[in-house]
Amino acid sequence: MWTKAALLTLFLASTASAFVNSKLSVKPFLSPAFSAVKDDEVIIAEDIEEKDKAFDLVGYFKSNLPALEKAMLAATKSDIPQTDNICKSMEYSLMAGGKRLRPMLCIAACEMFGGSLGDAVPTAIALEMIHTMSLIHDDLPMMDDDDLRRGKPTNHVVFGEQVAILAGDAMLAGSFEVVAKNTPKSVPAKRVIQVITILGKTMGPVGLAGGQAMDLECEGKEGVSVEDLTWIHTHKTAALLEASICAGATLGGATEDEVETLRKFAIDIGLAFQIADDILDITATTEELGKTAAKDLEADKATYPKLLGLEESKIEAQRLIDEAKTLMKPFGDRAIPLLAMADFIVNRKN
C-alpha cells in the first residue's frame, strides 16, 4: 500500500514533468465552421494535428456557454412555492460552474454530423444534470463524504442529506423530461428515443451506478488490479463521456458505424480523463481543484498512480489520447473540436 508520504515524494519528484506543467494553450484557428475566433491572428495549419492544437477551444466553450447556462437555470425553476427548497438545492449545484465538458462534447459531436447547437442543448444540459447529480450523491457522507465541490460547500452541507439526495433524484428524472420535451421537433423522434435509451443505460448497473458500487466495494481492499480499476472507470467516469459523444452524434444524424467509432474514441478519452483526475488528486491543491485534494489517499482508494506509478499513469493517459485521436482520422477537419477536447482532458489543471 502507498503511504501519503510516498505519494507526495513521488509528486515532488515529478513536478518538472511536461504533463503537470503543460497548459491549455489555445490559439485561434479560422474555419468557416466555427465562429469562435478571438482576434485577427490566422494560423495556416499544415495538418489536422496542428489545426487541433490551434483550435480556439476556450472561444468554443465561451460561445456555447450562454445557451447552456440559460437552459440549465430554466431546468431548476418551478413556480410552485412548495418546491422552493429542492429547486434551490438543484440550482445551487447545477449553476456552481464546473468545466461543462460533457455538454461541450455533446454539442461538438452533434455539430460534427450537421446538427445545430439548438438540436444539442436539451441533451447537453441533461448530461450536465446527470453529472451534477452524480457529484452530489458521490459527496454524501455515505459515499465519498466530501464537503467541498466546485469551490463551494457540498450540497448536503448546505441543504442537508435528505434534500441533497432528493435534489439529485429530481435532476436525474428531469434530465429525461428535458430531452423529451425540449429537443426541437425538427430532430426525428427516432433519434430522441435513441438518446433517451443511451441516457438510461448510462445511469444503470452497467453505467454510473454500477461503476460507483464497484468502486465503493473496492475501497480499502487489497489486490485491486488494473483490470478492476479500468472496469470501474469505464462505467463510473468514461460512460458519461461516451453518452455525451454518442448522444450528440446520434442527434446530428451519424450512422451506426460512425457512432461506434465515436464510442471507442469516447471510452479512450474517458479513461484518460479519470487517469488525469487521479494524477491531479495528488499533484494539485484543493484551491486549484475546487474539491478536496489527496482524497483518494485518505480513502485508501485504488487509483492509476497507486497501481502504475505517476510517470506510467501519465504515459498511459497520453497513449489513450493518441489512440483516440487516430480513430478520428477518417472524419478529417470535422473532428477538430473533439480532438481539441481530447488534448484538454490530459492538459487540464483541475
Binding site for ligand GRG (CB under 6 A): 98-99, 101, 130-131, 134-135, 137-138, 143, 150, 203, 208-209, 212, 236-237, 274, 277
Q: Based on CB atoms, which residue is closest to ligand GRG, 138 or 343?
A: 138
Least Cα distance to 166 among 218, 74, 90 occurs for 90
Q: How far is the CB of 212 from ligand GRG (least distance, A)?
A: 4
Q: Would you tell me how many other CB atoms lie within 10 Å of the CB of residue 84?
A: 10
Residue 13 near residue 318 (C-beta atoms within 8 A):
no
State the Cα–Cα distance between residues 192 and 176, nearest whole angstrom: 10
Q: How far is the CB of 82 from ligand GRG (least distance, A)?
A: 25
Q: How far is the CB of 233 from ligand GRG (least distance, A)?
A: 8
Q: How far is the CB of 213 from ligand GRG (least distance, A)?
A: 8
Q: How far is the CB of 41 from ligand GRG (least distance, A)?
A: 29
Q: Based on CB atoms, which residue is closest to ligand GRG, 121 or 129?
A: 129
Expressed in percent and rounded to 5, the helix, strand and coil fractions of the chain are: 70, 0, 30
Query: Which set of grid coordinates corresponds to residue 260?
Result: 461506434
Query: Which set of grid coordinates corresponds to residue 206?
Result: 452497467
State the Cα–Cα distance between residues 29 and 50, nearest whole angstrom: 10
Q: Which residue minimizes CB distance to ligand GRG?
A: 98
Cβ-in-10-Å burial (0-12, 13-18, 19+) of 270 comes to buried
Residue 295 is classified by DSSP as H
Q: Based on CB atoms, which residue is closest to ligand GRG, 101 or 167?
A: 101
Q: Based on CB atoms, which residue is closest to ligand GRG, 118 or 290?
A: 290
Q: How far is the CB of 251 from ligand GRG (least distance, A)?
A: 21
Q: Based on CB atoms, which residue is closest to ligand GRG, 130 or 284?
A: 130
DSSP line for 166-228: HHHHHHHHHHHHHHHHHS-TTS-HHHHHHHHHHHHHHHSTTTHHHHHHHHHHHTT-TT--HHH
Q: How far is the CB of 16 from ligand GRG (least distance, A)?
A: 24
Q: Based on CB atoms, which residue is closest to ligand GRG, 280 or 310?
A: 280
Q: Based on CB atoms, which residue is closest to ligand GRG, 36 or 136?
A: 136
Rg (CA), the chain: 20
